[in-house]
Amino acid sequence: MRRSVLFAAFIFAAVLSSSHAQSPQNLPQFDGKRALDYTRQYVAVGPRWIGSPGHAKAEAFLKEQFRRDELEEDTFTTNTPAGPMEMHNFIVRFPGKKDGVIVLASHYETNYPLRKIHYVGANDGGSTTGLLIEMANYLRGKTLDGYSVWLLFTDGEEAVKSWTDADSVYGSKHLAEKWQADGTLKRIKAFILADMLGDRDLDIQRDLNSTPWLEDLIYQAATEYGWQSYFFQTKTSDEDDHLPFVHRGVPCADLIDLDYGYNNAYWHTADDTMDKLSAKSLTIAGDTILETIRLLDQR
């Protein structure tokens, strides 16, 4: 993603109905420790820029994790500043009883321009890949009473040369166009993008390019666990994998922590490594997403 300017501190008040509030122990419980372990295994494949041996290993890792599930590999070739590139999105579907889909998304590749510095993207792409893999453990083996939940792993989120509208979010642009053509977009009730959520010092910004009511619902979900102080204390306008869906009218939320290290010092550097991450941060993100799904199912 392209880093956006963070605005001044943001004070957000959510009005929660007592009839909907639950005790935290009765809410969905996400296993951040297992998500962190999946992240560690995934990051161990090394740099995974498009076309690299690590990229192929990353794809094989994802296929292995979802071998028991309904997994679609969406392969396409697109033009980039480095020439035509073959890319691969992965969609894992968990069916629900209600007519509609909630999409949880993360990109899984590493930055192509940083391919010469052993950049492993532990937080940027790695942590949220681990989060979605553990999310599947929560969803797998049960009948979802609400909407279907699809896990989406996008390729080509990062720029190949330098960030522009044309040189970025290749996978999500391709899929948004494809899903618009086949009618899938009309079924999507919410598109929740997870990005850089493993940061030990978690501080998720409120994204002004996201859908306000959906971000309000996410804040409500976080508040029910007591996690609200980790959300929306500052604002950002972020350009990320959600934008192709925003532009097509899909309700979207970009959950992102763009304050990674002092003055964002670890972002897009070789210092984006596992020691900067925590299981607690992934628990906070995972809990909140699971409760957001429950609240969406009630709408």
Confidence label for 4 from pLDDT (cuts 50, 70 and 90):
low
Q: How far apart are CA 222 and CA 219, in angstroms?
A: 5
What is the rounded average pLDDT of the residues 207-212? 98
- Report domain extents, the chain: 24-298
The strands making up 231-236's β-sheet, listed across from edge to edge, are: 70-80, 83-94, 144-154, 96-107, 188-195, 252-256, 204-207, 231-236
pLDDT in tens, 18-54: 334 456 778 999 999 999 999 999 999 999 999 999 9
pLDDT of residue 12: 44
Distance of CA 295 to the CA centre of its chain: 19
pLDDT of residue 16: 42
CATH code matching the domain that covers 24-298, chosen among 3.30.70.100, 3.40.630.30, 3.40.630.10, 3.20.10.10: 3.40.630.10
pLDDT of residue 22: 58
Are residues 1 and 240 in contact, defined by beta-carbon separation less than 8 angstroms?
yes
- Sequence-separated (6 or more) residues with CB below 8 Å from residue 93: 69, 70, 72, 148, 150
- Sequence-separated (6 or more) residues with CB below 8 Å from residue 243: 169, 172, 209
Are residues 252 and 265 in contact, defined by beta-carbon separation less than 8 angstroms?
no
SS3 (DSSP) at 26: helix
Q: How far apart are CA 134 and CA 149, in angstroms?
A: 14
Secondary structure letter of residue 292 according to DSSP: H
Question: What does pLDDT average to over the chain?
Answer: 93
Confidence label for 234 from pLDDT (cuts 50, 70 and 90):
very high
pLDDT in tens, 148-206: 999 999 999 999 999 999 999 999 999 999 999 999 999 999 999 999 999 999 999 99
Secondary structure letter of residue 52 according to DSSP: S
pLDDT in tens, 76-119: 999 999 999 999 999 999 999 999 999 999 999 999 999 999 99
Q: Give me the helices (H) in the chain, please.
A: 32-43, 53-65, 128-139, 170-182, 212-225, 243-246, 279-298
Are residues 281 and 32 in contact, defined by beta-carbon separation less than 8 angstroms?
yes
Confidence label for 17 from pLDDT (cuts 50, 70 and 90):
very low
- Report which of 228, 112, 230, 248 is spatially closest to residue 181, judged by C-alpha positions: 248
pLDDT of residue 1: 65
Are residues 206 and 259 in contact, defined by beta-carbon separation less than 8 angstroms?
no
Q: How far apart are CA 299 and CA 297, in angstroms?
A: 6
